[in-house]
Amino acid sequence: MKNQKQTRSASIKERQAAYDSLPPHVKENLSAEEVELFLKAEEWPDSLFKKLEEFIVPGD
């Protein structure tokens, strides 16, 4: 249980760092709900992917 909590905490910190590194004009175009999804959701809606597509690197 502790490892899951530590992993989740690290994940949120990494996501926060990624969010903080976005250009201001991109962050301004995200709703409060989209910011919450960016930081905590396991899956993002297509609308969020669309807004961030220039920053997403395809996985293997």
* pLDDT tens, position by position, 20-38: 999 999 999 999 999 999 9
Give residue 51's domain range.
Answer: 2-55
**Is 10 within a domain?**
yes
> For residue 35, which of 54, 20, 50 has the smallest C-alpha distance?
20
Number of domains into which the chain is organized: 1
Alpha helices in 1-60 (DSSP H): 2-20, 24-28, 32-40, 46-52
Does residue 33 fall inside a structural domain?
Answer: yes
In a domain, residue 38? The reply is: yes
| 60 within some domain | no
State the pLDDT at residue 59. Answer: 76
pTM of the model: 0.76
Q: What is the pLDDT of residue 3?
A: 57
Q: Which residue has the higher pLDDT, 9 or 22?
A: 22
